[in-house]
Amino acid sequence: MGKILRSLGVLVPALVFLLLAQGSAFAANADLESDYTTETSDLQNGAVASQSCGNYDPDDSPDVQDVVYRTISRPPLPPLQLKLDVYYANRPLGQQGQNFAAMVVAHGGGWYTGCKRWSDDFARDAAKAYPPSPGFIVFNIDYRLACTSSNDPLIGQYCGWKFAVPGDDVQAAVTWVRAHATDYLQTGQTFNGHVALFGSSAGGNLAFEGAMHATGSARPDAVAGWSGFPDLVDPNGVAYCDIDSFKPDWCDLATKNYVNCDLSICPSTWDNASPDFWIDSSDPPTFIGNARHELSPPSAAQEFAGHLTSHNVAFDICWVNAPGPPYPHGLGLRDWPCDDNNGTTWSRTMIWLDQHT
């Protein structure tokens, strides 16, 4: 299906919705995500009342922080600056080759909350060659969100936007990285010109969208998404959230908030927000990570894989069969073994992205 431009929805006040985020309630590894929990009681009239985005663990601090990659004009308000953090590529002493690919990382958070800090652990390890990562020049981004407000100013500054604005920001980041990755090389390093795109949870949806919908310099050379909501609507016109998400109410309400209307009213917009809708044979190599009991509907990931196959798009998939509860979601999939006994979600992802960038 052709890559055509989509019209943006009209901005309206957000619905009252529940959490769809990468919180510890869904994490397999508490160390990865336990700092990023929002309780249902913290959500009032679409406003996220408590989040932590300001402080980095010293071990995860970026090499360069808050680089502006896009400036949004919005008169009469001041321009909005979208920022990213940079993690220099590293290959341990003794390893051969200092020619690196770049990686753009998009955080999760149900399209309405979150920040680049949420992905700092992943970004650091992808850059610093945590095995089997080859080491990437990593650009960990913030993007605009579908929230009404937040008491965390680092989130609140990005509130007020709906589909397809967050995805447009992710694609703009890929374009920016292609032009600027060489600015973040260390002595003796080169940039090979390839850009991988990774996202988890809602960020996985945006990463898949960037791979399947974008064209030209905005399209990544390879993409990976963990719990990435690759399709919002099944072939019979039913929301995948209602089919096999283990939290269908959370899933459905967050999706409606992001898409900005009910499926019965604007089915074409729900299609447009589904990366699966945009698949064609020119799409980049794709990695899918999903649990078999998941917040992100497993049947959507299965259909996505089937359509990649039918369009001859190279892909790999890691299914995690966790005993739960709690069940892994998003970055929480990281250290779980794939149920084909061929590596973990982390190792399979890094090997895939290395092979294709």
Confidence of residue 96 (pLDDT cuts 50, 70, 90): low
For tokens 């369009």, the residue is 311
Q: Return the pLDDT at 94.
A: 55
The reported pLDDT for the residue numbered 150 is: 87
Instruction: Give the Cα separation of 45 and 223 in Å (integer).
Output: 35
Q: How confident is the model at residue 52 (pLDDT cuts 50, 70, 90)?
A: low
pTM for the model stands at 0.87
Between 93 and 304, where is the model more confident?
304
Mean pLDDT of all residues in 337-344: 96
Mean pLDDT over 274-279 rounds to 98
pLDDT digits (tens, 9 = 90+) for 143-182: 999 999 888 888 999 999 999 999 999 999 999 999 999 9
CATH 3.40.50.1820 fits 24-356, yes or no: yes
What pLDDT, in 10s, does the model give residues 178-228?
Answer: 999 999 999 889 999 999 999 999 999 999 999 999 999 999 999 999 999
Convert the pLDDT of each residue in 21-34 to its tens digit.
Answer: 333 222 222 222 32
The Cα 132–Cα 134 span in angstroms is 6
Residues in the chain: 357
- The domain locations on the chain are 24-356
Quote the radius of gyration of the chain (alpha carbons, Å).
Answer: 18
Q: Which residues contact 282 (CB under 8 A, 6 or more apart)?
A: none
Q: Is the pLDDT of residue 50 over 70?
A: no
